[in-house]
Amino acid sequence: MIAYVTVGADDLEGAKRFYGAILPALGYGLKEGPEGLSYALPVAQGERAVFPDFYVKPTFNGEPASAGNGAMTAFEAASQKDVRDLHAAAIAAGGHDEGKPGFRASYGPHFYVGYLRDPQGNKIALFSSDPAEPGRDD
């Protein structure tokens, strides 16, 4: 099980605008501190944490943050409409389009996905795969 994902950011305010346009709508809460931004799903008292958490932090070695080549973090949305809305909100909040929301021939017929880059260049996917929604015509 993946417990958390961390991406580096040189501009935490820009990262906060970008991720603030996506993650709260997916149920994540934000804790902000001197070590950076910590997004987690809510946990009722007495229950185990729901993973993964998502952290946005300055680099530990003080060097500029950089995006990993081939690295990507994907967040699941409830619907295709949510994917479109969150993709647009993330671009308006400083993100960059890396692939408009839609179906891809290389994925299953109900995998609806949009790709983004955060302000630091980290690749983010927003997807929905609800079989009750319209699928791709093969």
Q: How many CA atoms lie within 13 A of 118 on its CB side?
A: 32
pLDDT at residue 68, rounded to an integer: 87
Query: pTM for this one?
Result: 0.91
β-strand partners of 114: 126
Question: pLDDT tens digits for 78-115?
Answer: 999 999 999 999 999 999 999 999 999 889 999 999 99
CB 31 within 8 A of CB 79: no
Overall CATH class of domain 4-58+71-128: alpha beta
Mean per-residue pLDDT of the chain: 95
pLDDT at residue 138, rounded to an integer: 58
Question: pLDDT tens digits for 30-55?
Answer: 999 988 999 999 999 999 988 999 99
User: Between the CA of residue 11 and those of 79, 81, 84, 91, what are the distances in Å?
Assistant: 30, 29, 25, 16
Q: Distance between terminal CA atoms of the chain?
A: 33
16's CB contacts (< 8 A; 6+ apart) are 30, 32, 37, 56
Listed residue (116, 122, 127) closest to 55, CA to CA: 122
Q: How far apart are CA 128 and CA 76, in angstroms?
A: 6
